[in-house]
């Protein structure tokens, strides 16, 4: 009986920790990393599978440290929404607020993930001999990710959060993956990262609507708090339009045809229609916008991957 109880308790803890880890959201960092590797292969470089796998693992741990740090340092803001309608895309996992896992354990897990990422980075650099910029690129990801929420730096409270997100989920993973395979940086990856950057900023911006009042109360200086909701939705539209238009232009440049990006264009058009029709003012409809914007970001990245593999 005691053994069964302990086993049940352990699996409950694992379940809640997985919820904290936000595993589905790791795709927005891992897919661009894969894209950078595919682009290196497209440019004629030999791809090392060990570098790819350890690079993905390092990226995973950086994002894990980032998400767990957000859960720990955003406890006050996330507590504001515990009695309201909980969004699936913002407001934290509510695991700490409901008392399932102690805050100190979450902080320790975040620090452990960060140290693990650092150790993997050292191994990739020294063990796999991937070049002198291996560690600087990894450290940039740690600085932008972990310190997004972590005090005393806390980029999100300094009005720099979206800039770091654009960099760390847009250009950086593509460039890091490309560099690890080639020991150089291609100008092409900078161009193709533009629609990914714009779409990931749109993801963060639309997710901020659900937490607007709590973020404003607790001193977050994110983009939506600084612009207000009415202006914020216009900024969202600008990012979506820039993402789909740049994707079409770049597809024509690289592949000689925009056909591959047509589904991305229609998804972006639907999101723009939702924004213009004020779906962001309704909780349930805004959830569709949040999910659709994440899908747009992933679709752009996956379309690039397919295009370069084709």
Does the pTM surpass 0.85? The reply is yes
pLDDT at 266 over 80: yes
Length of the chain: 310
Token pair in block for residue 96 = 């700490």
The answer as to whether 1 is a domain residue is: no
Q: What is residue 189's predicted lDDT score, i.e. its pLDDT? A: 94
Report the C-alpha gap between 56 and 202 in whole angstroms.
Answer: 24
Q: Which residue has the higher pLDDT, 72 or 248?
A: 248
pLDDT at 258 over 60: yes
The answer as to whether 11 is a domain residue is: no
The answer as to whether 8 is a domain residue is: no
What is the share, in percent, of the chain residues with pLDDT greater than 90? 73
CB 55 within 8 A of CB 176: yes
Residue with tokens 């659900």: 210
pLDDT at 164 over 90: yes
The answer as to whether 268 is a domain residue is: yes
Arithmetic mean of pLDDT over the chain:
90
The answer as to whether 130 is a domain residue is: yes
The answer as to whether 15 is a domain residue is: no
Of 261, 254, 103, 147, residue with least CA distance to 191: 254
The answer as to whether 287 is a domain residue is: yes
Which CATH number characterizes residue 253's domain?
1.10.600
Chain segment 99-138, per-residue pLDDT in tens: 678 889 989 999 999 999 999 999 999 999 999 999 999 9
Instruction: Count structural domains, the chain.
Output: 1
Domain coverage including residue 261: 24-309
The answer as to whether 281 is a domain residue is: yes
CA dihedral 139, 143, 145, 147 (to 10 degrees): 150
């Amino acid at each position: 009986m005691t053994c069964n109880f302990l086993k049940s308790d352990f699996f409950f803890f694992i379940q809640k920790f997985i919820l904290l880890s936000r595993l589905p959201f790791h795709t927005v960092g891992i897919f661009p990393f894969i894209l950078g590797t595919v682009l290196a292969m497209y440019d004629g470089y030999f791809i090392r599978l060990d570098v790819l796998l350890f690079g993905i693992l390092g990226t995973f741990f950086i994002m894990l440290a980032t998400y767990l740090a957000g859960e720990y340092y955003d406890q006050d803001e996330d507590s504001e929404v515990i009695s309201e309608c909980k969004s699936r895309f913002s407001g934290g996992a509510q695991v700490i607020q409901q008392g399932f896992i102690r805050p100190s354990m979450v902080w320790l897990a975040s620090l452990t993930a960060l140290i693990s990422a650092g150790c993997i980075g050292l191994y990739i650099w020294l063990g796999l001999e991937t070049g002198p910029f291996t560690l600087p690129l990894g450290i940039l990801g740690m600085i932008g990710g972990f310190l997004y929420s972590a005090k005393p730096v806390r980029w999100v409270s300094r009005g720099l959060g979206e800039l770091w997100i654009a960099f760390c989920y847009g250009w950086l993973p593509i460039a890091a993956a490309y560099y690890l395979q080639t020991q150089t940086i291609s100008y092409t990856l900078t161009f193709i990262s533009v629609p990914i950057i714009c779409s990931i900023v749109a993801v963060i911006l639309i997710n901020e609507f659900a937490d607007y009042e709590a973020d404003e109360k607790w001193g977050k200086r994110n983009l939506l708090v600084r612009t207000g909701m009415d202006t914020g939705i216009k900024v969202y539209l600008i990012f979506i339009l820039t993402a789909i238009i740049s994707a079409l232009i770049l597809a024509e440049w690289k592949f000689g045809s925009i056909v591959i990006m047509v589904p991305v264009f229609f998804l972006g058009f639907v999101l723009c229609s939702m924004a213009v029709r004020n779906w962001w003012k309704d909780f349930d409809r805004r959830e569709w916008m949040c999910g659709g914007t994440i899908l747009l970001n992933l679709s752009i990245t996956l379309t690039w991957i397919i295009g370069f593999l084709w």
